Amino acid sequence: MDFFSNPIEIVSVFCSLVFIIGAARQKVWAWSFGIVGAFLASILFYEEKLYSESYLQILYVILGFYGWWKWIRLKKQNEQQNEKKNTITELKWGIHVVLLLTGFILTFITGWYFKNFTQAHFPYIDAFTTSFAIIATFLEAKKILSCWYYWLVVNPISLGLFIVKGLHLYSVLGIIFTLMSVYGLVSWLKSVKQ
Residue 61 lies in a domain: yes
With a cut of 60, say whether residue 99 has pLDDT above it: yes
Residue 170 lies in a domain: yes
The count of C-alpha atoms lying within 13 angstroms of the C-alpha of 93, restricted to the half-sphere facing its C-beta, is 0
The model carries a pTM of 0.81
For 50-61, what is the mean pLDDT?
86
Q: How confident is the model at residue 112 (pLDDT cuts 50, 70, 90)?
A: very high
Mean residue pLDDT across the chain:
89
Residue 2 lies in a domain: no
Q: How many domains does the chain have?
A: 1
With a cut of 60, say whether residue 3 has pLDDT above it: no
Q: Do the beta carbons of residue 187 and residue 27 sit within 8 Å?
A: no
Dist. CA 177–CA 133, nearest whole Å = 12
Residue 158 lies in a domain: yes
Of 28-37, 69-78, 108-117, the least confident = 69-78
Of 2-16, 35-49, 98-112, 153-167, the least confident = 2-16
What's the confidence (pLDDT) of residue 1?
46
How close are the terminal C-alpha atoms of the chain, in Å? 47
With a cut of 50, say whether residue 161 has pLDDT above it: yes
Residue 92 lies in a domain: yes
Q: Which domain holds residue 141?
A: 7-193
Residue 99 lies in a domain: yes
Give residues with Cβ within 8 angstroms of 39, minimum separation 6. 57, 58, 61
Of 19-23, 80-84, 92-96, 166-170, the least confident = 80-84
Number of separate helices (H) and strands (E) present in the chain: 7, 0
Residue 1 lies in a domain: no
What's the confidence (pLDDT) of residue 192?
84
For 161-189, what is the mean pLDDT?
89
Residue 44 lies in a domain: yes
